[in-house]
Amino acid sequence: MVKAQRADLAGKSPEALGGRSGPSARDLDAVFSALAHPIRRAIVAKLAAGDCAVGDLAEPHAVSLPAISKHLRVLEDAGLLEQTPDGRVRRCALKAQPLSAAFSWIVQYRLFWEDALDALAAHVEGDGYA
């Protein structure tokens, strides 16, 4: 299946693979920027297992609760997180769509580079370098 996908994509640039229907550059920038910090990545990983209270998300990190709130705001602004009040506690839930869009973008480039590297390998092997 992967080889068939790569054959269908041969010679196409990543831009040609993505089209205009995908996420905007601004959306992708927000997602990758949000995921650039290790605390935010740890929060996303914890939320992947299920909803959590803010206090539970803050517990493993040696930072203040206001700092965790700032991290949560960055994730929320990127569309990765939804916070809902539950009495005196705020509960957080992961929103998968922005992660899915970022994954799709990465896969486009992965397929592009795999095709380019396969062509290079074929060229090198064909010239007797291998």
- Domain parsing of the chain, residue ranges: 23-126
Cα dihedral across residues 85, 90, 93, 94: positive or negative: positive
Taking residues 29-47, what's their average pLDDT? 96
Better pLDDT: 21 or 46: 46
Q: What is the DSSP letter of 86?
A: E
pLDDT score at 6: 46
Spatial distance between the Cα atoms of 52 and 34, rounded to a whole number of angstroms? 19
Q: Does domain 23-126 have CATH number 3.40.50.720?
A: no
- Alpha-carbon distances of 12 from 2, 3, 8, 86, rounded to whole Å: 16, 15, 9, 49
